[in-house]
Amino acid sequence: MKVGVLSFQGGVIEHLNQIKALGHTGVEVKKEKDLDDIDAIILPGGESTTIGKLLKITGLIKSLKEKIESGLPTWGTCAGMILLANEVEGQEEKYLQLMDIKVKRNAFGTQIDSFKTHKVIEKISKDEMELVFIRAPYITEVKDNVRILCKVDDKIVAARQDNIIVTSFHPELTNDLTFLNYFLKGKWMK
Ligand code: GLN
């Protein structure tokens, strides 16, 4: 498979490394042409305001939105989740608006900005996964068409809707390829 990673800022290389480790080809996406023949795309973690600004300045936001709307399997990690959300709490600025979720940025509070935990996400694997949170958002509201995949401390940290999946945490910062494999196999979309 050819898997695109939006490459303006943030944790791009970690995703590209995991894509390669699974035997697929990773492609940096910076302009419209890069979207042409990819089979899936990952919107990485980073700073959503920076990535969002660059999406707008370059005009990539329009073609990326159309491509995702046409069914491209899409995974947003952390800042990527914020870019896909219909609404961001306390913030006027909106980006792709492709998922019926409301998100809260830096939502786990300043003292525990970053933490790790372990959890079984039943729909994904019977084995525990390491979940890494870095100044992470969580989902505060979902519409009926959104399926919740995982909660931590009662907060929604993974969900899906049609061809889009989002995680507050960073599987690409672990040695575990389970999540990427689950995303690329695509059974979750059916
Ligand atoms: N706090 C960042 C934001 O709001 C997201 C952090 C991350 O992607 N690790 O954009």
pLDDT digits (tens, 9 = 90+) for 26-81: 999 999 999 999 999 999 999 999 999 999 999 999 999 999 999 999 999 999 99
Question: What pTM did the predictor assign?
Answer: 0.97
Active-site residues, by number, are 78, 170, 172
Give all domains of the chain, ordered by start, each with its CATH number: 2-189 (3.40.50.880)
If you average pLDDT over every residue of the chain, what do you get?
96
* Ligand 1, residues at Cβ distance < 6 Å: 45-48, 78-79, 82, 105-106, 134-135
Quick: pLDDT tens for 115-152. 999 999 999 999 999 999 999 999 999 999 999 999 99
Q: What is the structure's pLDDT at 112?
A: 67
pLDDT band at 94 (very low <50, low <70, confident <90, very high): very high
Question: Which token pair is 22?
Answer: 């699974």
d(CA 61, CA 83): 10
pLDDT at 111 over 80: no
pLDDT at 110 over 90: no
Q: Residue written as tokens 């959300």? A: 85
**24 Cβ partners below 8 Å, 6+ apart?**
1, 2, 3, 184
**27 touches 50 (CB < 8 A):** no
Give the mutation target among 43, 48, 108, 170 for probing the ligand 1 site: most ligand atoms within 8 A of CB.
48
